[in-house]
Amino acid sequence: MTTGSLKVISIILMFFTAKSITESSGQNFEPNNSGAFKLGNEVLLEMHDSPLKGKRIGIITNNSGVLSDGRLFMDVLNERHKLTKIFTPEHGLRGNEQNDDYTDDVTGAYVVSLYGNREKPSPDDLSDVDILVYDLQDASARFYTFINTLFYCMQAAAENNVEFVVCDRPIIPDGNYVDGFVLEDRFRSFVGMLNVPAAYAMTCGEIASYINSEYLSGKCRLNVIRMNSYKRNTSYDSLGLYWRTPSPNMYFPSTAVAYLGTCLFEGTNVSEGRGSQRPFEYIGAPFCNADLLCSELNSMDLPGVKFEPVSFIPKQLASWMTRPKFADETCYGAYINITDSRRAEPFKIAVAVMLKMKELFPDFSINKNNFIDKLAGTDRLRLMIESGKSYEEITGSFRDEVGSFKTKREKYLMY
């Protein structure tokens, strides 16, 4: 292929450490000058009649559970109310990929991993806990595993008569963007447990209320600590929050927007950009022609997105547990540049990219293990792609189920 118009991106991630990536993607936003906005964890810390007083406290958190100024909430909370136990989701506590049990050096609390062999706290895990506090920055995506950790922890709390507090956080993508297939029961897994669309557009407090009512019959003693001065149409970038990566490949807030669709490429032989400077925003493979792909995609005139030709070489960081696709090979593809997050539809964008890949490049394939079915929440996407259905036919096929969910979700919205 020719590379005259190709934007060549030099990816040399061996010079990065996981720590430097986290820090370099930090405070890059204009502050909110109103001074009124507060995260749920900040509201909890300022409460005079705190629900935590005199309680044995367990916290469900990780590197993303920060205050607006970047301090880790668990460390500040431990100074005021000694933590009894810490529960961590996939990827460990302090951005270290440590998915096992140990004692945290900073807080002195015992850390219980909820990923791998154990996804739900046991009665023994909760025997010395009166109240569980949840503080994680989610991606509002059904296949992002934090939502399933929330479900299991709420279920365990209900079964063991433990109070449950959710410190609410902003939605990173557009707060009204609901899209994708609703999960069918037979495709339930740890990358999809709830019968919601791929993009469900609810804060962690809202989805916790949804889980409690729809799945737990209201048996969880749930207390959502709402944010102050937050509105559903508030842009995440406008809040000026300190950014710490919730998981190793969620480098930037913009990653979370594209991820709502491009996570589907984990079920194909195309790189979803892991090991590049923009995971889930770069999509490509050695067999792609970047100029051709982007020209075809831009001709579709999809709202809120521009497809820019890119090349990248996936590299593996020492902290990562798995080797990225096409490690050390040059991939050619598209930078999915979301130019307007209010108008962009990331799930549909991913469908468009997949269809163009299939049309233009004979080497494109969906992985034979059909993992894409778990991500999509159905086998309908795969079957329609394989049978040659059009973009309009595929994206129109889930319109009614999205509409039904939006109606159901309405009573759980807090902002």
Enter the tokens of residue 260.
Answer: 């709502």
Measure the CA angle with vertex 254, ends 248 and 257; round to 5°: 95
CA 398 to chain centre: 21
Query: What confidence tier does 320 reach under pLDDT thresholds 50, 70, 90?
Result: low
Taking 3-state DSSP, the helix, strand and coil percentages for the chain, each rounded to the nearest 5, stand at 30, 15, 50
Residue 395 has pLDDT above 70, yes or no: yes
pLDDT digits (tens, 9 = 90+) for 205-247: 999 999 999 999 999 999 999 999 999 999 999 999 999 999 9
Rounded to whole angstroms, the Cα distance separating 226 from 206 reads 10
Structure tokens at 390: 């059009």
Task: Look at residue 165 and give its three-state secondary structure.
Answer: strand
Residue 110 has pLDDT above 70, yes or no: yes
DSSP 47-106: -SS-TTTT--EEEEE-TT-B-TTS-BHHHHHHHHS-EEEEEE-TT-SSSS---S-EE-TT
How many whole angstroms separate alpha carbon 175 and alpha carbon 73? Answer: 24
Residue 412 has pLDDT above 80, yes or no: yes
Average pLDDT, the chain: 91
Segment 355-385, tens digit of pLDDT: 999 999 999 999 999 999 999 999 999 999 9
CB 297 within 8 A of CB 353: yes
What pLDDT shows up at residue 112?
Answer: 96
pLDDT mean over 171-190: 97
Burial of residue 223 (number of CB atoms within 10 Å: 0-12, 13-18, 19+): middle
Of 11-25, 29-43, 92-106, where does mean pLDDT reach its minimum? 11-25
CA distance 189 to 142: 11
Q: How far apart are CA 155 and CA 36, in angstroms?
A: 34
Give the pair of three-digit tokens for residue 346: 């990331």
Residue 17 has pLDDT above 90, yes or no: no
- Closest by CA to 269, choosing from 325, 309, 229, 223, is 325
Burial of 370 (0-12, 13-18, 19+ CB in 10 A): middle
Cα dihedral 342/347/348/352 (nearest 10): 130
User: Which tops the pLDDT comparison, 119 or 9?
Assistant: 119
As to burial, measured by CB atoms within 10 angstroms (0-12 exposed, 13-18 middle, 19+ buried), residue 130 is middle
Taking residues 273-277, what's their average pLDDT?
Answer: 95
Determine the 3-state secondary structure of 166 from DSSP: strand
Domains of the chain: 7-18+254-406 (3.90.1150.140), 21-245 (3.40.50.12170)
> What DSSP string runs through 15-57?
G--HHHHHHHTSS-S---TT---B-HHHHHHH-SS-TTTT--E
Q: Is the pLDDT of residue 25 over 70?
A: no
Q: What is the pTM of this model?
A: 0.89
pLDDT tens for residues 43-63? 999 998 899 999 999 999 999
**In terms of Cα–Cα distance, which of 126, 91, 133, 96 is closest to 110?**
126
Q: Which residues contact 387 (CB under 8 A, 6 or more apart)?
A: none
Beta strand 7-8 with 57-61 is unpaired
By the 8 A CB rule, do 308 and 294 touch? yes
pLDDT computed for residue 333 by the predictor = 98
Give the contacts of 28 (CB within 8 A, at least 6 positions apart).
243
* 47 CB-contact burial (10 Å; exposed 0-12 / middle 13-18 / buried 19+): exposed
